[in-house]
Chain A
């Protein structure tokens, strides 16, 4: 197990280094002058030059890359061009929204999807199964921003149970903060839950067709014990894969939902930074997200090995 983990970890580090280089290189070919963008069309040329110097935009490329890498290794992400505060502060603030939101959505979707998947698989071919699958198809098809607007209309505008958007910050107390994340997490969880329940169902059905299940049944084991004890654990591998992918998506790809609920999350930070050519923020956050995705995949790999002992001994 340890050797396996070590092999995977080396791969993780190499991927991360390559990603940072690509991210940095891509941003260098983005057209436009951040200083001019910040000062606008009425600014005089010497004011723009002064700002370029302040932002150290005139240093050679390789020096800027290596400085950035070295600083990042020390946990210093540099200063945002537009906000002029440390990027780390910005990221810390945003993570306090994005990570709880992603976890809430993942929790909701898992809580709904796994039972639904198991339930429909155990009633395979019945009317209940067909009806539930039709509902999940609907869940996948609904655009989540539209579903979000619908939730806002019902629960914020008509019933006034929760705010229509915004985030009061954790300093306002856990209650209001969690309350403001309820609708966004439901909107995010719906399509994820729909996908996950279908995956769970089909993985379970595939497993139930395996020979060893037939053997278990032939031994005279009760159906429930076959399902819960023998089939489920093996069916979990594809489910874990999807869960890992979904968490990475929920962390980085929630920009649309963040916009609908005007939440100050990571997605919006990147979006704003791109618009304002705040390259240092873009490259730091994107690298961080790459790191997060790679880490999640690494953990999923380890979870495979836990779920399926055969993977541990396999030579790769």
Chain B
């Protein structure tokens, strides 16, 4: 009986394998809006870098899965000392870089020291600031000692900015990335496409796709045409929300509206009068009709949020109804705050359409209650200089796309200019604790404090408008981290 079952399974598997080997396609063209400036995820913040190389070309000690959880990657296992200060990572002994050299503990030591060192240009250097030392115990074991317990350490090591690179090839990774992933880089036609090919000596399960081409299509109309003409077979995040209904009605395509890590917020200068007044901020919260903004600016795609937290996260608390849309209440609060005659100020809008289109709607909603914001469109570089660095702003709209970034509210001197000792205490404890239940409790507490203080106008979670060929399987529905993981993607026919 037992043998028979195995036999049947084996035969079934081999039939399936044979038929799929004959029938299924093994190439895929994927559309992306932005071209990355280079391909080294340890030396730049551009999401487009990770969207090509994360989990495909480069891997870290750990990785973030499609559900946002921490999974094993180059470290096949690890142990944590009881005081939470020493992490011992056991590396895979069969992991190989694309240039043929094998991964050893010294590569890990090099990568982490490079990212946190004095010369580092890592865009997320803060991920590494709890590390005190990194040592190679032997070829396959790395010991990382922290200066303080850090609950998010394993998660941090799963970011694209923490991938493991080889000392011999690290400098060339911008142009010709060499990693340990299931796909190796083959070609970058600047302005046009990046091509990856499956890597024969990959340590894990070989991917089903042999060739993956990422094509850069910035124009919304062109993106729609490219899908319809079959030039690309997938657009993980289509820049044309207006054509989503047409794709939904077309049986040749699968449309999956997922969620991103992008909390889109009306950032408020908490340090500048009159916005330092909590009553004014609560009035703003009541004056905003989130659904009208989502419908008007995003063609209805997006989930309202009541705090700075992603709705798909298990620790999410529903806080949208704390400040329901209520212009009368808003006027009353302004009255109480002593601004019965209204408020004047500026609303600085960076280029993305959620900001420019959303800003127009918000400005008119605020005008209804007597808050007259002058709209000032700015370029990204101006936004970074004026708003982010110099805090020279009243209100602005921006999407914070880093995963689990509620901790930014505890940073000194961050551009919200917000400070609350109780909140900082929650984040500090969150940083220390590794126990998941306790972490979730703290996440909930943090969300509630931010809502209570109405720090910013919390608008909506950016949607991920995935459109792809109906025969394609395995693409991510949500993007818990900026990535287009191709390892599980295959053609069903």
Contact = CB atoms under 8 A, between A and B. Distances in A.
Interface of A: 30-34, 36-44, 46-47, 50-51, 54, 82-85, 90, 93-94, 149, 152-153, 156-157, 160, 163-167, 169, 259-265, 268-269, 272, 275-277
Interface stretch (B54-62, B139-147, B287-295, B378-386): B378-386
A31 to B, nearest CB: 5
B126 interface: yes
A93 B388 CA distance: 36
A166 B32 CA distance: 13
Contacts of B124: 42-43
A47 B122 contact: yes
Contact of B222 (A43, A84, A160, A262): A262
What 4 A-B pairs have minimum CB-CB distances, sorted nearest first?
A32-B381, A264-B191, A40-B45, A82-B37
B342 interface: no
Given A50-B119, A94-B191, A42 B225 contact: no
B221 A165 contact: no
Contacts of A82: 37-38
Given A32-B381, A164-B229, 8 more contacts: A31-B381, A32-B380, A40-B46, A41-B388, A42-B123, A51-B121, A169-B192, A268-B218
A165 B384 contact: no
A32 B379 contact: yes
B189 interface: yes
Nearest to B386: A31
B121 A149 contact: no
B174 interface: yes
B385 A32 contact: yes
B389 interface: yes
A38 B45 contact: yes
A38 B385 contact: no
A160 B229 contact: yes
A272 to B, nearest CB: 7
B226 A164 contact: yes
A149 to B, nearest CB: 6
27 contacts: A30-B381, A31-B386, A32-B380, A34-B381, A38-B37, A38-B44, A38-B46, A40-B123, A41-B45, A42-B402, A43-B125, A47-B123, A54-B121, A83-B37, A83-B190, A149-B225, A164-B228, A164-B229, A166-B215, A166-B217, A167-B189, A169-B192, A259-B219, A260-B222, A262-B216, A262-B218, A264-B190
Interface string B24-47: 000000000001011000001110
Contacts of A37: 380-381, 384
B123 to A, nearest CB: 4
Interface of B: 35, 37-38, 44-46, 118-126, 174-175, 189-193, 215-219, 221-222, 225-226, 228-231, 379-382, 384-386, 388-389, 402, 405
B124 to A, nearest CB: 6
A261 B263 CA distance: 32
A163 B402 CA distance: 36
A43 B45 contact: yes
Contact of B175 (A38, A54, A85, A265): A85
Contacts of B121: 39, 47, 50-51, 54
A94 B189 CA distance: 10
A202 B213 CA distance: 50
A193 B385 CA distance: 45
Q: Is the interface of B mostly helix, strand, loop or mixed?
A: loop
Contacts of A259: 218-219, 222
Given A32-B385, A36-B389, A47-B120, A164 B231 contact: yes
Contacts of B119: 50
A157 B229 contact: yes
A156 B225 contact: yes
B328 to A, nearest CB: 36
A277 B222 CA distance: 25
A262 to B, nearest CB: 5
A283 to B, nearest CB: 16
Nearest to A165: B222
A21 B219 CA distance: 33
Contacts of B126: 42, 44
B381 A33 contact: yes
A31 B385 contact: yes
A47 B125 contact: yes
B37 A276 contact: yes
B413 to A, nearest CB: 10
A183 to B, nearest CB: 11
A163 B229 contact: yes
A39 B44 contact: yes
Contacts of B381: 30-34, 36-37, 277
Nearest to B389: A36
A277 to B, nearest CB: 5
B232 to A, nearest CB: 9
Among B38, B190, B386, residue most surrounded by chain A Cβ atoms (within 10 Å): B190
Contacts of B228: 157, 164
Nearest to A262: B217
A71 to B, nearest CB: 21
Contact of B229 (A36, A47, A152, A260): A152
Contacts of A165: 217, 222, 225-226, 231
Contacts of B402: 42
Contacts of B231: 156, 163-166
Contacts of A153: 225
A260 B123 CA distance: 32
A33 B384 contact: yes
A8 B470 CA distance: 62
A32 B382 contact: yes
Contacts of A276: 37
A294 to B, nearest CB: 26
Given A32-B382, A38-B37, A50-B120, A268 B217 contact: no
